[in-house]
Amino acid sequence: MNKKRIVIGITGASGAPYGLCLLEECLRQGHEVHLLVSEAGWRVLKEEQGWEVQKREQLFYNRYKHLEGTLLFHPLKDIGASIASGSFQCDGMVIIPCSMGTMARIAQGISGNLMERTADVMLKEKKPLVIVPRETPLSAIHLENMLKLAQYGASIVPAMPAFYHQPQTIEDMVRFVAGKVLDQLHIDHQLYRRWST
């Protein structure tokens, strides 16, 4: 299997399980993952996963150290990190879940932190940028920002589970969305049963 280098960002939108599922699958397959978590993202991890987030990155290392891949954590303020440069070789970036605020700033070309800067690099270098928005209902502003990012080359993969594969658990629904993201990155997986007739 061809090992890839992927950046994963987790923001403050509801839907932390989507990001964690994607992270776990990438590491399980042996890929190199560069992880970013926004301040609001840490709050969502606490509320949705029950994580005590004082130790922050150590939580991720402890949770995923048994997996084959390489996990590298970057603080949001580290604007000089490797992933902030267009010369850094990377196979793509996913922001999952992506808050409407983060999406708006990326759509406007604002690079106020490392997550936004890295997304900007993906766009300018024409590398895969996958945005997984998690909001409902969507305002015209949200839709406009999604359209703008799609026109700039980003893939918009809303957190919309399907039911044709007959999910039995919440995990099945989460795995479907993570699988659709991996499809955008051309990474093989077995996270859900594909449609066949």
Residue 178 marked as a ligand binder: no
Phi, psi of 21 (to 5 degrees): -65, -45
Residue 169 marked as a ligand binder: no
Residue 164 marked as a ligand binder: yes
Residue 139 marked as a ligand binder: no
Residue 102 marked as a ligand binder: yes
Residue 87 marked as a ligand binder: no
Residue 99 marked as a ligand binder: yes
Residue 100 marked as a ligand binder: yes
- State the Cα angle at 113 between 108 and 118, rounded to 5°: 75
Return d(Cα 72, Cα 63) in angstroms, integer: 13
Residue 153 marked as a ligand binder: no
Report the first-to-last Cα separation within the chain, whole angstroms. 28
Residue 122 marked as a ligand binder: no
Residue 85 marked as a ligand binder: no
Return the residue matching tokens 């099945």: 172
- What one-letter code names the amino acid at 182? L
Using CB atoms within 10 Å of the CB of residue 195, give its burial: 0 to 12 exposed, 13 to 18 middle, 19+ buried.
exposed
Annotated binding site for dimethylallyl phosphate: 164, 180
Annotated binding site: 12-14, 38, 99-102, 134, 164, 180
Annotated binding site for FMN: 12-14, 38, 99-102, 134
